[in-house]
Amino acid sequence: MSTNAGASVTLVRNATVLATVGETTFLVDPLFASEGTLPPIDNTPNDRANPLVPIPDVDLSHDAVIVTHRHPDHFDEAARSELGSDVPLFCQPAEAEAFVEDGFTDVRPVEDAASFGGISLHRTPGRHGHGELAERMGPVSGFVLEGDETLYLAGDTVWYEPVAATLERFEPDAVVLNGGEARFNQGEPITMGVADVAAVREATDAGVAVVHMEAINHCLLSREELRSETEGVLVPEDGARLEL
Instruction: Give the start-to-end residue ranges of the domains of the chain.
Output: 7-241
Which residue, 174, 237, 161, 241, is CA-closest to 201?
Answer: 174
pLDDT over 50 at 2, yes or no? no
CATH 3.60.15.10 holds for 7-241: yes
Cα–Cα distance measured from residue 207 to residue 244, given in angstroms and rounded to the nearest whole number: 8
For 59-113, the pLDDT digits (tens) are 999 999 999 999 999 999 999 999 999 999 999 999 999 999 999 999 999 999 9
Q: Would you say 126 and 157 are in contact if contact means Cβ atoms under 8 Å apart?
A: yes
| Closest CA relative to residue 176, chosen from 119, 242, 226, 228 | 242
* pLDDT tens-place string over residues 146-166: 999 999 999 999 999 999 999
- pLDDT of amino acid 220: 96
Residue 233 has pLDDT above 80, yes or no: yes
Q: What's the pTM value of the predicted model, to 2 decimals?
A: 0.96
Residue 63 Ramachandran class (φ > 0 left, ψ -120 to 50 alpha, else beta): alpha
